[in-house]
Amino acid sequence: MATAVKFDRYGGIEELKVVEVPTPKAGPGQVVVEVVAAGINPGEGYIRSGALHEQWPATFPSGEGTDFAGRIVEIGSGVGGLEVGAEVVGFTEERASHATHVVVPAAQVTLKPAKLDWDVAGALYVAGTTAFAAVQAVDPQAGETVAVSGAAGGVGSIAVQLLRARGATVLGIASEVNHDWLRKLGAVPVAYGAGLIDRIRAAAPDGVDAFIDTFGAEYVDLAIELGIPPERIDTIINFEAADRYGVQTDGNAAAGTIDVLAELADLAAAGTVEVPIAAVYPLDRVQDAYRELEQRHTRGKIVLHP
């Protein structure tokens, strides 16, 4: 038997249960991976609560989790280029990675670079591809100034680094406790809260060219007030504001491919992109992991160890 996180109805964190399930089997074109590390993401909490029922309805009992890294333990027929024991990083589209084992199409895994930390590998897909898509959406040019809300979070911190790699000046909106770290990433930190728009204007007297919102709240409104064209604003969370202003909503769905994941894995292994691990929890403490995540002050990623 395997172990997996499940929930039987929409609701709070207390709905998450860790239960025994049959160990998955590899069908044609599939591999079974024994999970070493699996990241958690804010969107999973919104799905569990029912807040995203219109976009991504759950069927019950529902599993949970998209990101994972681990070792292949079974290979189905028709799979080439992989072998049992291979260390891989990948993703599932079946809400199933918060488990000891996950079965996925072989095309949804790629070999883990030897130098890539397991926890980083297991938390890379959703945050990394979402940041990748958001940066592509606002199309930063060298010398431009781009503001990022939630700049110390999992998506925001990767977006900051991808923007810097493209030669942009980055205003990283975050709590002051994260400012020194953001400076190390090459960003100009700006404290959130009352008076934020004045602090942004002081930090960028020539204006802000684009805005990536990874937090929600009123950041899209703020970007519009700064005079940024809607096509150069991307929010991964505030869909109501996106509809109201016509701003972009590119996220994981726009860049969630195995090729992008492999590129990000190489960047992280080389140290070009840093993915801080805020905390690691055993699978049976999944509720505690989400309680920490939902405080919304995490620097980097939270990871489960099955």
Q: Find the CATH number of the domain harbouring 299.
A: 3.90.180.10
CATH of the domain at 224: 3.40.50.720
**Percent of the chain's residues with pLDDT above 70:** 100
| pLDDT value at residue 226 | 97
Residue 279 lies in a domain: yes
Helix (H, G, I), strand (E, B) or coil at 11: coil
Both 29 and 65 in one domain: the answer is: yes
Residue 45 lies in a domain: yes
Residue 189 structural domain: 127-253
Confirm whether pTM is higher than 0.85. Answer: yes
Residue-averaged pLDDT of the chain: 95
| pLDDT value at residue 55 | 81
Q: Give per-residue pLDDT as tens, 202-232.
A: 999 999 999 999 999 899 999 999 999 999 9
- Is the pLDDT at 298 greater than 90? The verdict is no
Q: Give per-residue pLDDT as tens, 82-124.
A: 999 999 999 999 999 999 999 999 999 999 999 999 999 999 9
- Pair of tokens at residue 177: 């406790």
Q: State the pLDDT confidence band at 178, using cuts at 50, 70 and 90.
A: very high
CA distance 299 to 181: 10
C-beta separation of 37 from 131 below 8 A: no
Query: How many angstroms separate the Cα of 49 from the Cα of each of 6, 12, 16, 125, 172?
Result: 13, 6, 11, 22, 29
| pLDDT value at residue 254 | 87
Name the nearest CA neighbour of 159 among 227, 92, 236, 91. 236
Both 93 and 149 in one domain: the answer is: no
